[in-house]
Amino acid sequence: MVYQLSSYYESVQLIEDFYCYIWQGRGNNCNSCLFANVLRGERPHVIIDPGHVTNELREACFDYLVKAMERDGFKVDDIGLIINTHSHPDHCQANEMVIQKSQAWVTLSEEEDEFRSTLGEKLCSMLGIKAPRFTPLFYLKEGNLNLGAQNKVELQIFLTPGHSPGSICLYWADNKILITGDVVFYGSIGRTDFPSGSLSMLKRSIDRLSQLDVEYLVPGHSTEFGSIVKGRPNVERNFQAVKLFL
């Protein structure tokens, strides 16, 4: 594992060609993940949740992400695909910036896209936040998503509603990595008090995820307990602990 620390992102290279960018700023922003050099063609990188452009404390989240990726030798211009775990602005506001630089495709679940273009937009305007603008190329469905030539990265998509109506989690069985978005965190769970949230759905989603064989749980946000949960026993303990909230 290789760590690089700047004041705004900690870059954690979990395995070859897979990087987690852990947000370290004071305001709100999500963690991002990068599958490097996976797609065929000129734009080989895949990013999960590029996050905010600028957050509520006016921290330039996206500029810092660009810098953090550059330190690892990657350019945003070379991103070919953006995967959004869900459509909250702190996860996909920067889609637009990535697309400007790279013409990347975007994907998320159909349920989430429908929420985004209806209640999600209304919520953004009520909160005075610019609604994220992008057009998905295709929708993520429960099941396999293979990236790259010879299915270099074989992911399993889990539809895990609760925090938002169409949240997804990504499971990379070969490396026992689970990317959870805002469904489950280190010692905590995603909020369900938004008008579109559902604690009973979140419970069902977390129950399903807890059946998986996971070595690294990579959440969408860090908590006071930590960011990435490492080691199967710790992941199991984490699931046991967060189920107490449900």
Q: Which long-range contacts (CB under 8 A, 24 or more apart) does 208-213 make?
A: 208/158, 208/160, 209/158, 209/160, 209/169, 209/178, 209/180, 209/183, 209/184, 209/239, 210/236, 210/239, 210/243, 212/171, 212/178, 213/173, 213/176
Kindly report the number of other CB atoms within 10 A of residue 158's CB atom: 20
Nearest residue (CB) to Zn ion, 139 versus 194: 194
Q: Minimal distance in Å, beta carbon 174 to Zn ion?
A: 27
Interacting positions 158-197 with Zn ion (CB under 5 A): 182
Span near Zn ion by CB under 5 A; candidates 84-92, 103-111, 201-209, 228-236? 84-92
DSSP string, 24-89: -SSS----EEEE-S-SSSS--EEEE----SS-TT---HHHHHHHHHHHTT--GGGEEEEE-S---H
Span near Zn ion by CB under 5 A; candidates 82-90, 99-107, 114-122, 151-159? 82-90
Nearest residue (CB) to Zn ion, 80 versus 220: 220
Q: Minimal distance in Å, beta carbon 85 to Zn ion?
A: 8
Nearest residue (CB) to Zn ion, 59 versus 182: 182
Nearest residue (CB) to Zn ion, 43 versus 88: 88
Nearest residue (CB) to Zn ion, 51 versus 136: 51
Interacting positions 86-105 with Zn ion (CB under 5 A): 88
From the list 163, 179, 159, the residue with the least C-alpha distance to 245 is 163
Q: Please tell me whether residue 49 binds Zn ion under the rule CB under 5 A.
A: no
Q: Minimal distance in Å, beta carbon 157 to Zn ion?
A: 17
Shortest-Cβ-distance residue relative to Zn ion: 88
**Helix, strand, or coil here: 100?**
helix
Nearest residue (CB) to Zn ion, 102 versus 180: 180
Contact positions vs Zn ion (CB under 5 A): 88, 182
